[in-house]
């Protein structure tokens, strides 16, 4: 784990975003990151926790324990100071609170279901104690009422509408998309026809060009931003644009990594930062490159100096 986990510096990119009390309250209401939660879900999750304590069944204890662990990890990412303890719990990748916010839904759902079942059993037992047994029509009416209440209390809420708005904006592919815009996506779709199988493409993961591997399976020099470059990759990242003027110094690294192409997606980065790779800049005027395909501002170049 010490060898393969993301480096400590990766966790420093995501500072805490709220207090521990707010993080716990958001977890209970299934509304992390200030998305308005559902009071109905909060009541049902609390009912599931009560059922787990009172019934003392092993699988219920596991469900409650899983929820508690996820809440602990979520609180660490969302609220704890950026120190070694936070990194020990959530590492580099999960220091981003959005990732653990998404995970909260998984243990919350079975607890909410148990809470609903517990509440209905309690209601049914109370009616029977008063001699008000449920005829078939009453049971059917209750089922319809419960389904309607669940729909209104979970789907037709301000929090759900806000989440839908956020997601629809973040995942639309258009000219202003932060990770892969419409020009870049069209070029990525063409890559399997342009790049021979087994040949690697030099990319800058910060501008979205490494998504060529995730979306269409074309090999790239890196697949994510939190990578540590090998000596050959460092040469490519910093000196690939000099391959035409210094083939003896750059081509050995190009051949070692099997690089035959390079993607230029410009300088716009997904987080609005600046992480330039000098080796992938100004390829249009650098000797040793040939333009293969273009979609708007996105360009694929072939490395010709090492062939």
Tens of pLDDT, residue by residue over 81-95, are 988 888 888 887 788
Dihedral in degrees, nearest 10, Cα atoms 278, 283, 286, 292 = 150
Give this prediction's pTM. Answer: 0.62
pLDDT of 197-222, one tens digit each?
Answer: 999 999 999 999 999 999 999 999 99
What does the DSSP 8-state code read for residue 300? Answer: E
The arithmetic mean of pLDDT across residues 104-129, rounded, is 85
Question: From CA 139, how far away is CA 144, in angstroms rounded?
Answer: 9
**Crossing angle for the helix pair 58-79 and 20-28, to the nearest 10 degrees:** 140
Q: Could you give the strand order of the β-sheet that contains 298-303, starting from the edge strand earlier in sequence?
A: 200-202, 259-264, 298-303, 289-295
pLDDT above 80 (res 250): yes
Question: From CA 191, how far away is CA 184, in angstroms rounded?
Answer: 11
Question: From CA 209, how far away is CA 206, in angstroms rounded?
Answer: 8
């Amino acid at each position: 784990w010490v060898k393969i986990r993301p480096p400590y510096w990766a966790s420093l990119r995501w500072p805490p975003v709220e207090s521990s009390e707010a993080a716990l309250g958001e977890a209970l209401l299934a509304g992390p990151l200030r998305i308005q939660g559902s009071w109905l879900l909060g009541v049902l999750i609390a009912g599931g926790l009560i059922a787990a304590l009172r019934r003392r069944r092993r699988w219920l204890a596991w469900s409650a324990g899983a929820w508690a662990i996820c809440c602990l990890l979520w609180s660490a990412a969302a609220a704890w100071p950026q120190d070694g303890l936070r990194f020990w719990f959530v590492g580099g990748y999960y220091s981003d609170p959005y990732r653990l916010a998404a995970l909260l839904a998984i243990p919350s759902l079975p607890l909410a279901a148990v809470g609903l079942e517990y509440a209905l059993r309690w209601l049914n037992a109370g009616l029977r104690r008063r001699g008000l047994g449920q005829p078939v029509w009453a049971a059917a009416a209750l089922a319809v009422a419960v389904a309607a209440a669940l729909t209104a209390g979970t789907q037709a809420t301000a929090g759900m509408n806000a989440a839908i708005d956020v997601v629809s904006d973040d995942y639309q592919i258009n000219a202003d998309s932060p990770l892969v815009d419409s020009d870049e996506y069209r070029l990525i779709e063409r890559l399997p026809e342009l790049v021979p199988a087994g040949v690697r493409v030099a990319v800058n993961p910060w501008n979205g060009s490494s998504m060529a591997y995730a979306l269409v399976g074309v090999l790239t020099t890196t697949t994510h931003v939190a990578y540590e470059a090998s000596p050959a990759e460092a040469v490519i990242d910093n000196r690939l644009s000099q391959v035409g003027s210094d083939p003896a110094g750059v081509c050995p690294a190009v051949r070692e990594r099997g690089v035959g192409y390079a993607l230029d997606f410009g300088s716009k980065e997904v987080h609005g930062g600046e992480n330039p790779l000098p080796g992938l800049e100004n390829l249009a005027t650098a000797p040793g490159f040939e333009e293969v395909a273009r979609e708007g501002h996105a360009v694929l170049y072939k490395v010709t100096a090492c062939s």
